[in-house]
Every structure is written in C-alpha cells, then in structure tokens.
Structure 1
Amino acid sequence: MDKTIILLLLYVDICIGFGFYMYLWRIKKLIGFHLGMNISIVMGGMIALIFGVLLILQFPFHFTLITVVSTLTGLVVGAMFGLLFDYQTFVTGLTNGIVVGLMSPMIGTIIEMPSVFVWCIHIFFAISLCTISISIKRS
C-alpha cells in the first residue's frame, strides 16, 4: 500500500472520529448508558485497530513504539467516548482500547494482503458508525 494513502486514511479517520465525538457531545443526554457503553467499546477498539494496523504498515520496523502509540490512542479514544456517559462506560472504553491497541500491531505485521485488509477494516468501521447512528436515532 502506498505511504501517502496510509497517511490520508489516518487523517480521514481522525477527522471522522473527532466529528463523531462532537456529534455525540451535543446529544449525549439522549443516549442511555447501555448504548453509551457500546459506543465507547466500538470507537476505542476500532480506532486502536485502525491506528495500529496503519502505523505498522507505514513504519514496519518500529514495532515497540507503534504498539505504545496504538495502545495510548485506543486508551484515550475509549476513555473520551466513555466519559461522555458515566464512569463505568469510561472504564470499559479505556480497557477495550488498551487491549485492541496492544493486539493491532501484531495483526498488522502478519497480514498478507494489506490493502484488502485495510479497506475491510474501514468498511467495518463505516458499518459500525452507521449502526451506532441508527441506534441513537431509535433510542
């Protein structure tokens, strides 16, 4: 996969995550804590997975640093989305972000077709965001 495409995908993912956080910030009072817990799990895990895989593809010989960065990214994103709702959701998002952040560089190093895998992850991310948006509107 081309290095500029990887950086572009990272930028787009950051913008989507930030935009979704701002959207949830405005309507957080309308969301129950069960749905909030699912949101923090999905967002912390998916962002950590995307960051870990994309960064290991961008910098393949910096495994330890990328593991730390993807773990911290998952931790921060899961915690931020969890803090929108309550402390139990905060802990759940934080732990899920840590676990997925630790595993994602390992997944990124063993993939044989990186472009197919990266696009599949992004499709799953888009489906997750659509599912969360539909769930928010129905709650």
Structure 2
Amino acid sequence: MTAFPISLFVYMDICMCIGFYIYVFRKKKLIGFQLGMNISNVMGGMTALLSGIVLIWQFPFHFTAITILSALTGALTGALFGLLFDYQTFITGLTNGLMIGIMSPMLGAVLEVPFLFLLFLHGLFFATLVTILISIQRS
C-alpha cells in the first residue's frame, strides 16, 4: 500500500481535531461538566487510537517508538481538550488518551485487513464528532 492514503488520513485527522478544538474553545461557556468530560475522553481516545493504528500500519517494525508517539498524541489531545473545562476533566482526558495510545499499536499490529478497519474507525470518529456537535447545540 502506498503512503498517499495514509498521509491523507493523518492530514484529515489533524484538520478535524484542530477545527473541532477551535469550535469547542468558542463554545466552552455553554458546555457542562459532564459533556466536557465526554469530549476530552472521546478526543483523546480516538486520536490515540487512530494515530497508533495508522502509524503501525505505515511503520510496522518501529513498535516501541510508535507506542510512545501514539500515547503522547492521545495524552496531549485529551489534556488540551480537558483544559478547556477544569482540572478533573484534564486528568481524565490525559489518562484516557495515554492508555488507549499504549494499546492502539497492539491492535494495529494484529489486523488482517487494516484499510477496512481504518475506514470503519474514521467513520466512527466522524459519527462521534457529529454526535458531540449535536450535544453541544442542545446544551
């Protein structure tokens, strides 16, 4: 498999996360504590899961470095989204992103059809973003 679809997935994930962070930053006064906790969990976890699987698919023999990178990516994303609300949400997003980032390269290493699973995960990520956007509008 060429690197183009993988680069496209990474670029798309980064753009979606940055755009969603800007949106949540503008609406953070309207978002309650429970929804903020769910936002930090979803964003930290999905970012870690997607980065771990995409990177282990691209670089299959660099398991340790990819595990560290995906754990840091998930922890940083969860922490940044958690800091929008309060410190308890910060800690929850940080630990959730860290734990999923540690586990995601293991999942990516045992996949038999990684492209199909990656499409499924991106669909799930998009669906969770739409669900969160609807929840923010209703709060």
TM-score band (shorter)?
over 0.9
Root-mean-square deviation (Å): 0.6
CA distance in 2, matches of 1:76, 1:115: 26
Letter in 2 for 1:48: A
Who is 2:98 aligned against? 98
SS of structure 2 residue aligned to 1:112 = coil
Distance 1:75 1:2 in 2: 29
Aligned residue type for 1:135: S
Q: CA offsets, 1:52-93, max 9 Å, x none?
A: 000000100000000000000001000000000000000000
Which residue number corresponds to residue 81 of structure 1? 81
Gap regions ≥5 residues in structure 2: none
Please give the secondary structure, in 2, of the residue aligned with 1:30.
coil
Letter in 2 for 1:53: I
CA distance in 1, matches of 2:65, 2:114: 20
**Distance across 1 between alignment mates of 2:121 and 2:87:** 29
Aligned partners of 1:117 and 1:76: how far apart in 2?
Answer: 24
5 Å-filtered alignment, 1:55-134, equals 55-134=55-134
| Structure 1 residues 7-18: aligned runs within 5 Å | 7-18=7-18
Q: Is the partner of 2:29 in helix, strand or coil?
A: helix
1:23 aligns with 2:36: no
The alpha-carbon deviation at position 8 of structure 1 amounts to 1.1
SS in 1 for 2:5: helix
The TM-score, its normalising length taken from structure 1, stands at 0.99
- Structure 2: which amino acid aligns with 1:83? L
**What is the CA distance between 1:4 and its match in structure 2?**
1.1
Partner SS, residue 66 of structure 1: helix
Matching residue's letter, 2:127: I
Does 2:44 match 1:44? yes
- What secondary structure, in the 3-state scheme, does the structure 2 residue paired with 1:29 have? coil
Taking every aligned residue pair, what percent have the same amino acid on both sides? Answer: 60
Question: Secondary structure at the residue paired with 2:28?
Answer: helix
Q: CA deviation at 1:2?
A: 2.9
Query: TM (normalized to structure 2)?
Result: 0.99
Question: Which AA in structure 2 matches 1:23?
Answer: Y
